[in-house]
């Protein structure tokens, strides 16, 4: 069974309180970098995979996309997206990304923000996304960096008695597979993969790599969230931009 942690009431409450604060790593690190890599979207068809509350979907429409299909496993997220985004050019589907069934659709761009590390079968998903893209279409996705997901207990910062972060513990990198952590609730499941697995999975399914990013925070983010300075010591996120070539 695919995990739907975002519909857990305790998780959803904690997560939305964080996102509504407007002071998150998403706001000042991951999203600015993702948005900076979007191509010209005028008249384009876009899929937003793991769309959450629809913020990136809305941004694509603002950039001129003809339509956006937002997909998310969470009913609570989709409900929030429908409340916040009333543009008729955005359609939402509540479905696990792995089970997505879209007939006779061809997208110019598929974006996915911090969703693919929840997917167990990466190869099958990449194969499906390739089939949904038009020739020359692009896939841009972000995930938690493998440096973050590698260590099995996902408890990486070593601190001194005063609570200062001394160094980042890195282990178990080549042992791919399931990781569990506490994030608002126990048992949040993610899947760790090496960087070669991520990139070769794209290449072997007909994609050409165009850019790989380990984003750095904006200056506003550094001013509001001093801990973002630790991104100079290790990256939180990985962004991969690729294009369908066959």
154 in a domain, yes or no? no
Would you place residue 104 in the very low, low, confident or very high pLDDT band (cuts 50, 70, 90)?
low
63: domain CATH number is: 3.40.50.150
66 in a domain, yes or no? yes
For a pLDDT cut of 90, what percent of the chain falls above it?
Answer: 86
**Cα–Cα dist 146/234, whole Å:** 11
Enclosing H/E stretch for 59: helix 55-62
For 57-66, what is each residue's pLDDT tens digit? 999 999 999 9
**Cα–Cα dist 32/43, whole Å:** 22
Expressed as residue numbers, the domain containing 11 is 5-146+194-244
Beta-ladder partners of 208: 243
**Cα–Cα dist 232/83, whole Å:** 37
- Reduced to 3 states (helix: H, G, I; strand: E, B; else coil), residue 64 is coil
Res 178 pLDDT > 80: yes
For residue 191, how many other CB atoms are within 10 A of its CB?
Answer: 18
Res 102 pLDDT > 90: no
- CB-based contact 180:189 (threshold 8 Å): yes
168 in a domain, yes or no? no
Beta-ladder partners of 213: 239
133 in a domain, yes or no? yes
Stated pTM of the model: 0.95
215 in a domain, yes or no? yes
**Cα–Cα dist 36/39, whole Å:** 9
In this structure, the strands spanning 237-244 and 207-213 are antiparallel
**Cα–Cα dist 141/50, whole Å:** 10
CA dihedral 193, 196, 201, 206 (to 10 degrees): 160
pLDDT at position 195, please? 98
98 in a domain, yes or no? yes
Would you place residue 3 in the very low, low, confident or very high pLDDT band (cuts 50, 70, 90)?
confident
pLDDT at position 81, please? 94
Rounded (10°) angle between helices 122-132 and 195-203: 40
For 195-220, what is each residue's pLDDT tens digit? 999 999 999 999 999 999 999 999 99
Q: Is the dihedral of CA 244, 38, 105, 71 positive or negative?
A: positive
94 in a domain, yes or no? yes
3-state secondary structure 164-233: CEEEECCCCCCCCEEEEEEECEEEEEEEECCHHHHHHHHHCCCEEEEEEECCCCCHHHHHHCHHHHHHHC
Looking at every residue in the chain, the average pLDDT score rounds to 94
155 in a domain, yes or no? no
Would you place residue 1 in the very low, low, confident or very high pLDDT band (cuts 50, 70, 90)?
low
Structural domains counted in the chain: 1
Beta-ladder partners of 138: 109, 243
């Amino acid at each position: 069974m695919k995990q739907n942690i975002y519909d857990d009431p305790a998780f959803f409450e904690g997560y939305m309180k964080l996102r509504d604060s407007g002071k998150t790593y998403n706001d000042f690190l991951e999203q600015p970098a993702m948005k900076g890599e979007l191509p010209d979207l005028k008249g384009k068809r876009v899929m937003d995979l793991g769309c959450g509350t629809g913020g990136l979907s809305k941004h694509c429409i603002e950039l001129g996309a003809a339509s956006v299909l937002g997909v998310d496993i969470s009913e609570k997220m989709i409900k929030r997206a429908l409340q916040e985004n009333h543009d008729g050019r955005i359609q939402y589907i509540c479905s696990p990304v792995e089970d997505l069934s879209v007939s006779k659709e061809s997208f110019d761009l598929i974006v996915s923000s911090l969703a693919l590390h929840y997917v167990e079968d990466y190869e099958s998903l990449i194969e499906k996304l390739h089939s949904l893209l038009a020739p020359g279409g692009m896939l841009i996705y972000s995930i938690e960096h493998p440096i973050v997901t590698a260590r099995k207990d996902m408890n990486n910062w070593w601190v001194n008695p005063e609570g200062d972060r001394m160094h980042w513990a890195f282990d178990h990198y080549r042992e791919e597979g399931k990781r569990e952590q506490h994030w608002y609730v126990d048992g949040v499941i993610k899947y760790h993969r090496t960087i070669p697995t991520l990139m070769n999975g794209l290449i072997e399914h007909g994609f050409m790599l165009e850019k790989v990013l380990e984003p750095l925070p904006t200056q506003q983010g550094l001013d509001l969230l001093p801990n973002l300075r630790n991104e100079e010591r290790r990256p939180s996120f990985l962004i991969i931009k690729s294009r369908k070539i066959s």
